[in-house]
Amino acid sequence: MIILGIDPGTATTGFGVIEVKNGKVDTLGWGLIETDKDGSPGKRLITIVDQMKNILKEYNPDVMSIEKLFFANNAKTAIRVGQAQGVMIYSGACHNIDVIEYAPGTIKKVITGSGRSDKKDIQKYLRKILGNKIKSKAHKKTHFDNAADGLAVALCHAVKTENLKVL
Domain range list for the chain: 2-162
Please report, rounded to a whole number, the percentage of residues in the chain having pLDDT higher than 90: 67
Architecture of domain 2-162: 2-Layer Sandwich (3.30)
Per-residue pLDDT tens for 34-57? 999 999 999 999 999 999 999 999
* Global confidence as pTM: 0.91
The pair phi, psi for residue 67, each rounded to 5°, is -75, 130
Per-residue pLDDT tens for 128-144? 888 765 654 445 555 67
Predicted confidence at residue 136, as pLDDT, reads 40
Please tell me the distance from the alpha carbon of residue 129 to that of residue 96, in angstroms, as a whole number. Answer: 29
126: left (phi over 0), alpha (psi -120 to 50) or beta: alpha
